[in-house]
Each structure stands twice: as C-alpha cells, then as structure tokens.
Structure 1
Amino acid sequence: MSPGDCYPCDREAEFDRLPPREVVGHDDHWRVVHATGSGLLGWLVLVPRRHVMELADLTAEEAAGLGTWQLRLARALAAELGTPRTYVAEFGEAPGFHLHFHVVPRPVDLDPALRGPKVFGLIGRDEADEVSAHERDAFALRLADRLRTQANSLQ
C-alpha cells in the first residue's frame, strides 16, 4: 500500500503528534484508539502498529499481546464505565484500514435492539450524534491512567 491508502499506518507515522484519543495505550506492537464516529463513549479500537491485513499474519509476539490487550481493556472499561460486558469484534472489511479490533463496552442500559453485533448501529454516526473529540480525549486520559495503574496487576 502506498502512503494515504491505510489510515492506521498514516496515523502511526504521526505517532508523536497524535491527540490522547488516538493513543489511549500502546506498546511495541499495538496502539489503542478511541473510535471516531461513535455514539458510545469508550468504544475502542485496538490497532497493530505495523501494516498487517489478516489475523493469521500476526507474529507470535503480536498475537500474545492481542490477548493481553483485550483483557486489560475489558477490565479497564468495566472499572471506568461500570459496564457488565465488553464486545470484541474484527471484520477487516473497511477499505483503507488494516487489521483492527473493536473493543466495545456494553452499557447496562443499552437498548436491546443494539445488543450483540447490532451495536455497530452506534458507529458511523453524524458528527452531531457522535462522542466529541473533547470527550474522547478526556476519557482517553482517564483510561490511560487506569491502564498504567492496572499494568502490574494482571494475574
């Protein structure tokens, strides 16, 4: 892919200048981003820091980190938002994006019509219906602090 063809790679190239909502957490292999266009605060996206298109193409280190990140994020979202469940999904169908995982907190009061895969009805919102950049940044900073505190307690 050439520059401009892959949104996560383009953002990764600007890593040192990214706002908090685009670096909720990171390590050598993964970066956690708050989703744009979401009507749900805490909708995260776990993105490999290198260009990779398929789950089967992850390295052993990336695969091991994937499980750890999913667990850390589920625990941090539950603690921060009081959500009883966290959805994790990967479809890999969006043009201009490499492999990524949606990590979605399921609020207690979520409309039953939006539960399970239907939760994707809360993404791709008009700007007026989405969580603002300011709210995403504030949430990202809180969650990043929680992730740092939690880092040594995974057992």
Structure 2
Amino acid sequence: MECLTCLNLSGERRISPAPFIYEGEHWVVDHAYPTTHAGWLVILPKRHVEALHELTLEEYQERAEIEYKLVQAMRGYDSVQKEYTMCFAEGEGFHHVHIHVVPRPFDLAPELKGPRVFGFLQVDAEHAIQAPELTAFCEDFKRRLAALG
C-alpha cells in the first residue's frame, strides 16, 4: 500500500499547500489538509513507523518537546480554549504514525467536540482554507514557535 505520509515527507506528493512548520531531527510538523480549521497540525516522524511502540526513546523525547511547544504557541491565540491530541494511524494510505494537535476554540459547535472534531477534515480542497491563507497562518505559527526558543 502506498504511504501518503512518506510521499508527503519526501516532497514527491505534498498534502498541504503550505510549507512545513517545523523540521527537527526525527519529526516534521505540517498543517493538515484539506480542512476548514486553521491550526490543525500534524506531527510526523521522518521515518516510516506504523505503531507508537516502534519509536525510539530519542524520537519520543523530541516529540514531547515539539508537542509542548506547539500547544504553548496555540495558547497564544485568543480563540483557543484548549488543545486536542490524537493518534490513530488507521486511515487508507495513512498507516504511518502521525499525531494530530488541534486547537479547540471556545465556540466549537457541540457536534464537533471530542473525536467528532474530525468533521473539520471532511471537506474538499475547493471548500478548504485556500493556499495563501494557509501559508500565512503557517508562517505566523512558525514565528510563534521560534519566539518560544
């Protein structure tokens, strides 16, 4: 089966029209796409892994630091009440481990709370955040991360 995450990481077939937000030794942070929800980030291991138990201690340590910084940067947006994190790696073409980090706004509709937040990903590219807006968001978020040190 074709791994869409590996194709995305190699640049062969990018998923998001925006640039990566972060690139570390073991992980990359990208913006989920297509979506109508700005800030839906995905932490991706650079190597192909299909289960969390396959990660090394070094990979876990780097991921913890990245995830901490992501939620701290999200906290800087006035609309964000809290953050959701999820890892399933079960979707067709997406068995590569990936961790979703999603800002949960104060005004989130009840029908999108909890795991139903994935409704934000049930959109085609035509109705999703457009590339210029998404790129501007990712560049702003990258600056917020850099300011955290």
Is the structural similarity TM-score above 0.5? yes
* Superposed displacement of residue 131, structure 1: 1.3
The answer as to 2:45 corresponding to 1:48 is yes
Q: Kindly state the Cα deviation for residue 93 of structure 1 after the two structures are TM-superposed.
A: 0.6
Q: Which residue of 2 aligns with 1:76?
A: 73
Q: Which runs of 5+ in 2 are unaligned?
A: none
Provide runs of 4+ in structure 1 moved above 3 Å: 17-20
Distance across 2 between alignment mates of 1:6 and 1:81: 36
- The alpha carbon displacement at 1:128 in A equals 3.4
Q: Secondary structure at 1:84's aligned position in 2?
A: strand
**1: CA distance between counterparts of 2:71 and 2:123?**
23
Structure 1: tracts of 5 or more residues without a match: none
Once residues 144 and 80 of structure 1 are traced to their aligned partners in structure 2, the CA distance between those partners, rounded to angstroms, is 13
CA-CA distance at 1:29 after TM superposition: 0.6
3-state SS of 1:128 partner: coil
Deviations 1:91-123 (A, max 9, x none): 111121210011100011111221111111111
CA, structure 1 residues 95+18, in 2 after alignment: closer, same or farther (shift >3 Å)?
closer
Q: Which amino acid aligns with 2:27?
A: W
Select the structure that is richer in helix. 1
Q: CA–CA distance in 1 between the matches of 2:17 and 2:74?
A: 16
Q: Which moves more between the two structures, 5-14 or 42-51?
A: 5-14
The TM-score with structure 1 as length reference comes to: 0.86
1:126 matched residue in structure 2: 124
Q: 2:103 corresponds to which residue?
A: 105
Q: Distance in 1 between matches of 2:16 and 2:122?
A: 20
CA distance in 1, matches of 2:16, 2:125: 18
> In structure 1, the residue corresponding to 2:68 is in which secondary structure?
helix
Match of residue 140 from structure 2? 142
In the other structure, the counterpart of 1:67 is: 64
Q: What RMSD in Å do the two structures reach over aligned CA positions?
A: 2.1
Q: Which stretch shifts more, 129-138 or 44-53? A: 129-138
SS at match of 2:36: coil
Aligned to 1:33, the other structure's residue is in SS state strand
* Alpha-carbon distance between aligned partners in 1 of 2:32 and 2:74, rounded to the nearest angstrom: 14
